[in-house]
Structure 1
Amino acid sequence: MSTTTAIRTTTDAGLLRTLWLASPALPVGGFSYSEGLETAIDAGLAKDEAGVANWLIDQLQLGQARSDLAVMAEAVGAWRAHDLDRVRALNHWVLNTRETSELRLQTEQMGRSLLAWAQALGEHGEAVRAALTQAGLNPPTWPLAAACAAAQGEASVREALIGLAFGWAENMVQAAIKAVPLGQGMGQRLLARLVGEIPAAVDEAIARGTDDQRQAFTPMLAILSARHETQYSRLFRS
């Protein structure tokens, strides 16, 4: 195999793993959560395309970029360095920054589901399964489990985070299409808006990838998530 072919094969593998993790077909249950969006719609804060766009962009910039994506940025490196003490500390941080029971149950369920996905893949998921098992995360949260899967590929941290952020955006747009409801055309415009915001959000996440720069402070999301637990009619688990 030539050097050029080897480089191309490695690059392709990293890209394909990133696309795989971002796919809505990944059986981790992300489609069943709206992360407060359903209650924001019910409260009239995100009742149309413009309102949903503003809500989701805020969640991307103020929530994902400063919290989960920032954790993932550091966690990918920790997994690749086999720094299990750091992995456990990051997982502990995630568990202790979920502000409602729904948000905590979501990150736990999706983390466990990714481990089950790796186990179901057999030899193709062995590296992920072995790493998560060795770390002894109880339970593995979604950011740490997703970072573990991303770390097994050749993609850069930035590429991995862009893929995971896109997966989040696609799930949120699908939630909006069902809950507002919006048409497919509006949904695609929403996704285009979020795609335009993702690179800057990922750059901020990487810059915040240390304990003293991360934060989990989204009070309106916490309030709406708590309200969702007793919302009269709902489609989603959060």
Structure 2
Amino acid sequence: MTPTDRAAATAARPAAGLLQILWLASPTLPVGGFSYSEGLEAAVDVGAVIDESTAANWLADQLHLGLARSDLAVVAQAIPAWQASDLTRIRQLNTWVLNTRESQEFRLQTEQMGRSLLEWARSLSALDASVGGVFEQLQSAQLAPPTYPVAMACAAACAHTTVRDSLIGYAFGWAENMVQAAIKSVPLGQSAGQRILARLVQEIPVAVDHAITLTDDTRQAFTPMLAILSARHETQYSRLFRS
């Protein structure tokens, strides 16, 4: 390989990794994230979220108190485990996610989205080598079922980008889905949704940096009000989002 070829290959790898993370964060990824409100619709129903300001505060709190301390921390720990083929650690993290979902709705969501990511990787495995690696690793782990954070960590590990960039992509994908849920359920206009997303974009790096510092002893899933609202949403009379 000539020096020019080596330089081109070095430049291509980061670009490919970034594109993979953007792909995984895209709302068009067919895992069904858009169909869940994660308690937000129930919060609207009881009057806890009524406008742009309360929706922005709600989602910022959910980012820092829920996502950062649980899912983002799991993804941060699962990426190096996938890269080291440490299946014992992967299964441990997957079990932790299943055991700490605080409502039936939350558990069904992580199971469904994890399975959908596996099916996405299966359908594209012959077309994209990186996606094929995701499918092979998820299959070899024999997770029953793969949870969404652990499955996404596998996809991020195959993208060969940094853990921090992977977490930022994961958090941004969550933020886009939740802002869309707020637009539909409050309801809000598109401009209000963009202002909320702008706030979350500012706060995501802080949440990601906190998640990276967490360990098994400090990682936690404890959002009692969100759990109560999720449980109420399971039997809510009228709803737009999946339960």
Q: What range is the shorter-chain TM-score in?
A: over 0.9
Q: Any residues of structure 2 matched to 1:114-129 within 5 Å, and which?
A: 114-123=117-126, 124=128, 125-129=131-135
Match of 1:64 among 67, 91, 100: 67
Report Cα offsets for 1:24-83 as digits up to 9, x if no partner: 000000000000000011111111000000100000000000000000000011000100
Is residue 2:236 matched to residue 1:231?
A: yes
1:45 match: secondary structure: coil
Which residue does 1:83 correspond to in 2? 86
Q: TM-score, normalised by structure 1?
A: 0.98
Residues of 1 paired with 2:241 and 2:10: CA distance?
Answer: 43
Distance in 2 between the 1:126 and 1:193 partners?
A: 36
Q: What does 1:186-205 align with in structure 2 at a 5 Å threshold?
A: 186-205=192-211
Compute the displacement of 1:3 (Å).
Answer: 3.2
2:139 maps to which of 127, 133, 137: 133
Tell whether the 8 Å contact from 2:37 to 2:181 is kept in structure 1 after alignment. yes
- What letter corresponds to residue 131 of structure 1 in structure 2? Q
Q: Which amino acid aligns with 1:217?
A: F
1:222 is aligned, of 224, 227, 231, to 227
Deviation, 1:5, is 1.7
Measured after TM superposition, the shift of residue 122 of structure 1 is 2.6
Cα deviation, 1:85-107, whole Å, max 9, x if unaligned, reads 00000000000000110000000
Look up the match of 2:34.
31
Give every structure 1 segment of 4 or more consecutive aligned residues whose post-TM-superposition deviation is greater than 4 Å: none
Q: CA deviation at 1:8?
A: 1.1
In the alignment, residue 216 of structure 1 is paired with which amino acid? A
Counterpart contact for 2:168–2:204, Cα < 8 Å: yes
Corresponding residue SS for 2:242: coil
Q: Counterpart in 1 of 2:167?
A: 161
* Unmatched 5+ stretches in structure 1: none
What is the aligned residue count? 237
CA distance in structure 2 between the aligned counterparts of 1:186 and 1:201, rounded to whole angstroms = 22
What code does the residue aligned with 1:81 have? A
- 1:4 to partner: Cα distance: 2.7
User: How far is the alpha carbon of 1:7 from its aligned partner?
Assistant: 1.7
Distance, in Å, in 1 between the alignment partners of 2:111 and 2:76 is: 19
State the TM-score, normalized to the length of structure 2. 0.96
In 1, the alpha carbon distance for the partners of 2:47 and 2:11 equals 49
Whether the 8 Å CA contact 2:44–2:50 is kept in 1: the answer is yes
Question: Do the aligned residues in 1 keep the contact of 2:14 with 2:161 (CA within 8 Å)?
Answer: yes
Could you list the runs of 5+ residues in structure 2 that have no partner in the other structure?
none
Amino acid corresponding to residue 165 of structure 2 in structure 1: E
- Give the AA of the match of 1:227: R
Answer whether contact 2:125 2:133 (CA < 8 A) is retained. Answer: no
Q: CA deviation at 1:154?
A: 1.9
Distance 1:75 1:88 in 2: 10
Residues 1:211 and 2:233 aligned together: no
CA distance in 1, matches of 2:90, 2:52: 38
**Other structure's SS at 1:34 match:** coil
Structure 2 CA distance for aligned equivalents of residues 179 and 218 of structure 1: 21
Aligned to 1:49: 52
Identical amino acids, percent of aligned pairs: 68
